[in-house]
Amino acid sequence: MQSKLAFIGFGNVARALAKLIERKSDGLKSKYGITYSVTGIATGRHGFAVNPNGLDIKEALALVEQGKSISHLSALPVENSLDVIRLSAADVVFENSPVNYETGQPAVDHVRAALNAGAHAITANKGTVVHAYRELTDLAQSKGRKFMFESTVLGGSPMFSTFREAMPLAELKSFKGIINATTNIILSRMEDGESFGDAVMYCQSIGIAETDPSGDVDGWDASIKVAALATVLMDTPTKPQDVDRKGIRDITPAMIMDAKREKKRWKLVASAERDRGRVLARVAPGLVDASSPLYGMMGSSSGLTFRTDVLPDYSITISEREGLKGGPEETAYGLFADFINAVSAT
Amino acid sequence: MQSKLAFIGFGNVARALAKLIERKSDGLKSKYGITYSVTGIATGRHGFAVNPNGLDIKEALALVEQGKSISHLSALPVENSLDVIRLSAADVVFENSPVNYETGQPAVDHVRAALNAGAHAITANKGTVVHAYRELTDLAQSKGRKFMFESTVLGGSPMFSTFREAMPLAELKSFKGIINATTNIILSRMEDGESFGDAVMYCQSIGIAETDPSGDVDGWDASIKVAALATVLMDTPTKPQDVDRKGIRDITPAMIMDAKREKKRWKLVASAERDRGRVLARVAPGLVDASSPLYGMMGSSSGLTFRTDVLPDYSITISEREGLKGGPEETAYGLFADFINAVSAT
């Protein structure tokens, strides 16, 4: 079938997704019978465009990458993202607006509008899961559409879909892992003798830490991801504020060297476990030794260990390697996988 | 819908599966709308029973576990496994006959008969994948049924389904890992100072190594699993004989201690990679250091790292833990997951 696609937000991730869809178009068609056209694009700074008969995606990509507006491509007058969602007649809306951790907006409104317009809503925005998972999932179900968000945790690596499809009826008792790249890079570099401040500056220089690094360093980003995982995989609504949170500011170079002498490592460990009907979620520095799957996760590597009622401990690890370090391309792949799974399932 | 189930082979794994289905029956019904009855059982030494209106599974379990025959439960005269497949009117056949690595029989015949009778065929038998993957998959497709085999590699942990559903259109370039528990336990125990012979005897004493341990020690079991993975995930028919194979007999205690001093470990590494249209598959001892995901896999732990065109290296690790060490319950879970996925998909 022909899927009409709308992109709400057209930054690095969304553009990587558009290119990935183009690159994989033969496989989409031959393996899944999916063809597509792009009927709507909403950008942050380069205007809005809608054409229910299809926009020229290559031209739109080129314009935005040259810093130009796409507004003249539009066949209809559109002034904002909600116009694009409403007028694009899209079957699939990719929501990639900037994250607001406190309210989840405007992403939650975009997803709601997309589902109400009869489209699948696919997002990499953690705010939607933390603030409105139950509402949006129920709304999707009532419309016979899908609300999907694989890319919100561990880039585009399968995490939610593993439990949705690969491990049906497994009861998740607890999980534990490393899910914030910035703090893991900082701790890895401190083990090599770099100071905390220099390591933070390094992360800022490669574009993975903000000017104010406290969202990562104080464990907020990890807390949001733990909350999202607990909300979905343990079916227990969990807010970032519910997470018992401690960052890495108190980890001194001396502590790291002491650990190294004992062949151990400090890691910012995120975890959650069921405890008498509740979920206890936590982000805190922890000492791990070589027997832990976390020990070998250095730099931007990350991963989670899941304890269920049906299997031995099951760990997923994403290892950095040259040229592929969890950038926009990987996040785009999670959106792409959601796209295929949403369209195939309905 | 009501699914009629037949068990061909009723050993430890099949009985664990029957109990797991009972234990999860509420979830099967509420989440997937699946109810079931057992209409056929074929055992190796305790007879055969068929009743299209449903057998008493609890009674059958009790009889077999007391070493008694189930034949008197049968509503129809049945003398062998093919009779059970034919007369049980099953929607799902669980094939768990003993593995024959050289021919894949009688499992291949059982799967073929099940598919021809209009049932889904689900097996933990590696022989079927290595000897007849393409034929059985094509047959299943022509019948609108599924041929599934999640439990053939890494117990019941999701491996095939990860690529089938969680990572759609990812192109697998190579994989590498530890997929034979016996050799990994032997190498782990040798690192603690035990001799090769004593470590083999330990594995025999806990029931995971055969009287003749050469299938594990010489790398045959790992080769069969590599061949199965390459056949399915790389869509390249691969036989165990095609695998460049070297076992662990030449790994001396001195080599293990030398490695330990350098903070390295010998592992029996199974791998495959695409190379100009072919697949090069290999099983051989390899030295790994702490940066490798394989380093931390001790004892009966196992796992694989996958390199694709869309994500950073993606590793799955199964860690032994007290009370859950990859026994029949875990293999049973893979069959159970296949059951849900087969019935839900059709």
Selection from A30, A238, A208 nearest residue A129 by Cα? A238
Residues 161-200 of B with CB under 8 A from A: 161-162, 165-170
Confidence label for B291 from pLDDT (cuts 50, 70 and 90): confident
Q: Is the predicted pLDDT of residue A337 greater than 80, yes or no?
A: yes
Give me the residue from A317, A320, A324 closest to B317, CB to CB.
A317
Distance CA B28, CA B85 (A): 23
**Residue of chain A whose Cα is closest to the Cα of B342:** A165
pLDDT of residue B345: 82
Q: What is the CATH number of domain A2-148?
A: 3.40.50.720
Distance CA A287, CA A255 (A): 10
Selection from A239, A206, A225, A215 nearest residue A124 by Cα? A225
What is the DSSP code string of A162-186? IIIIISTTPPEEEEEEE--HHHHHH
Q: What average pLDDT does the segment B142-154 reach? A: 95
Q: What average pLDDT does the segment B40-69 reach? A: 97
pLDDT of residue A319: 84
**Residue of chain B whose Cα is closest to the Cα of A333:** B310
Chain A CB contacts of B305 under 8 Å are: 317, 319
Q: What is the CATH number of domain A163-325?
A: 3.30.360.10
Q: Which of A17, A161, A288, A310 to mutate to test the interface with B (most CBs of B within 10 A)?
A: A310
Residues 3-42 of A with CB under 8 A from B: 20, 24, 27-28, 31-32
Q: At what angle do helices A25-32 and A328-345 cross, to 10 degrees?
A: 20
- What rounded mean pLDDT belongs to chain B? 93
Chain B CB contacts of A208 under 8 Å are: none
Give me the residue from B155, B156, B317 closest to A315, CB to CB.
B317
pLDDT (tens digit per residue) in A78-92: 999 999 999 999 999
Selected residue with higher pLDDT from B293 and A173? A173
Give me the residue from A165, A292, A318 closest to B161, CB to CB.
A165
Q: At what angle do helices B253-261 and B181-191 cross, to 10 degrees?
A: 70
Chain B CB contacts of A295 under 8 Å are: 290, 296
pLDDT (tens digit per residue) in B98-117: 887 788 899 999 999 999 99
Q: Which of A173, A333, A344 to mutate to test the interface with B (most CBs of B within 10 A)?
A: A333
Q: Is the predicted pLDDT of residue B259 greater than 70, yes or no?
A: yes
Q: Is the predicted pLDDT of residue A188 greater than 60, yes or no?
A: yes
Q: Is the predicted pLDDT of residue B151 greater than 60, yes or no?
A: yes
Could you report how far apart the first and last alpha carbons of chain A are, in Å?
A: 11
Q: Please give the angle made by the CA atoms of A328, A333 and A337, to the nearest 5 degrees.
A: 155
pLDDT of residue B292: 82
Given a contact cutoff of 8 angstroms between Cβ atoms, the answer to whether A298 and B290 are in contact is: no
Of all residues in chain B, the percent with pLDDT exceeding 90 is 80
ipTM of the complex: 0.91
Using DSSP's 3-state secondary structure scheme, residue B326 falls into coil
Give me the residue from B155, B161, B293 closest to A296, CB to CB.
B293
Q: Is the predicted pLDDT of residue A110 greater than 60, yes or no?
A: yes
Distance CA B333, CA B21 (A): 9
**Residue of chain B whose Cα is closest to the Cα of A318:** B314
SS (H, E, C) B92-114: EEEECCCCCCCCCCCHHHHHHHH
Give me the residue from A165, A314, A315 closest to B341, CB to CB.
A165
pLDDT of residue B141: 97
Chain B CB contacts of A157 under 8 Å are: 311-312, 314
Chain B CB contacts of A322 under 8 Å are: none
Q: Is the predicted pLDDT of residue A145 greater than 80, yes or no?
A: yes
Chain A CB contacts of B326 under 8 Å are: 312
Domain assignments of chain A as residue spans, ordered by start: 2-148, 163-325
Q: Which amino acid is at B154?
A: L
pLDDT of residue B322: 56
Q: Is the predicted pLDDT of residue A100 greater than 90, yes or no?
A: no
**Residue of chain B whose Cα is closest to the Cα of A331:** B311
In Å, how far is A181's CA from the nearest CA of chain B? 13
Q: Is the predicted pLDDT of residue A313 greater than 60, yes or no?
A: yes
**A141-155, A270-284, A321-335: range with lowest mean pLDDT:** A321-335
Residues 39-78 of B with CB under 8 A from A: none
Q: How many CB pairs under 8 A join A and B?
A: 155
Pairing of strands A2-8, A35-42: parallel
pLDDT (tens digit per residue) in B115-125: 999 999 999 99
Q: At what angle do helices B12-23 and B328-345 cross, to 10 degrees?
A: 60
pLDDT of residue B321: 63
What is the DSSP code string of A47-92? -EEE-TT---HHHHHHHHHTT---GGG-SS---SHHHHHHHS--SE
Selection from A161, A118, A108, A136 nearest residue A6 by Cα? A118
Q: Which of B174, B317, B331 to mutate to test the interface with A (most CBs of A within 10 A)?
A: B317
Confidence label for A321 from pLDDT (cuts 50, 70 and 90): low
Residues 261-320 of B with CB under 8 A from A: 290-293, 295-296, 298, 301, 303, 305, 310-320
Confidence label for B326 from pLDDT (cuts 50, 70 and 90): low
pTM, full prediction: 0.92
In Å, how far is A167's CA from the nearest CA of chain B? 6
Q: Do A305 and B319 touch (CB under 8 A)?
A: yes
Chain centroid, CA B100 distance in Å: 13
Chain A CB contacts of B316 under 8 Å are: 314-317
pLDDT of residue A332: 96
- What rounded mean pLDDT belongs to chain A? 93
Q: What average pLDDT does the segment B136-158 reach? A: 94
Q: What average pLDDT does the segment B255-259 reach? A: 96
pLDDT of residue B225: 94
Q: Which secondary-structure segment (H or E) carries A275?
A: strand A264-275
Whether B163-325 and B2-148 are alike in CATH topology: the answer is no
Chain A CB contacts of B170 under 8 Å are: 333
pLDDT of residue A103: 85
Q: Is the predicted pLDDT of residue A266 greater than 60, yes or no?
A: yes
Distance CA B3, CA A99 (A): 45
Q: Do A296 and B298 touch (CB under 8 A)?
A: no
pLDDT (tens digit per residue) in A230-262: 999 999 999 999 999 999 999 999 999 999 999
In Å, how far is B259's CA from the nearest CA of chain A? 15
Torsion of Cα atoms, B189 then B190 then B191 then B194, to 10°: 80
The residue to which tokens 């020990």 are assigned: A295
Given a contact cutoff of 8 angstroms between Cβ atoms, the answer to whether A35 and A3 are in contact is: yes
pLDDT of residue A61: 98
Give me the residue from B24, B158, B310 closest to A162, CB to CB.
B158
Distance CA B267, CA A46 (A): 54
